Amino acid sequence: MLLGKRDVIGQPLSQFFNGSELEKLIQVLNEVSKSGNPVTPAPMNERASDYAGAPEDNFVHSIVPIHGSDGNKPKRLFIYTGKV
């Protein structure tokens, strides 16, 4: 698990992810949040800090919105990643 059970709510994305495609990742996350539809972009190379704070290279493969019981705007975004 990349971020595992760390409390990321309200934290800036840049605290966990960095890399040359961070702006693209933020753009895709915004699109998924607005549309409420899952997206499978071309894999984006991102570095993320593991539990110990060490950077790991990963590819973002899919972003899936998780809707609340009201079915409206997504309450969370699930980011599927894989190792480089």
Nearest-angstrom CA–CA distance, 13 and 69: 25
What pTM, to 2 d.p., does this model score? 0.75
Phi, psi at residue 58, to the nearest 5°?
A: -145, 160
> What pLDDT shows up at residue 55?
67
Taking 70 as the threshold, does the pLDDT of residue 52 lie above it? no
What token pair was written down for 79? 């980011």
Percentage of residues in the chain having pLDDT higher than 90: 18
Lateral strand order in the sheet of 44-49: 17-18, 44-49, 55-67, 74-83
> What pLDDT shows up at residue 27?
92
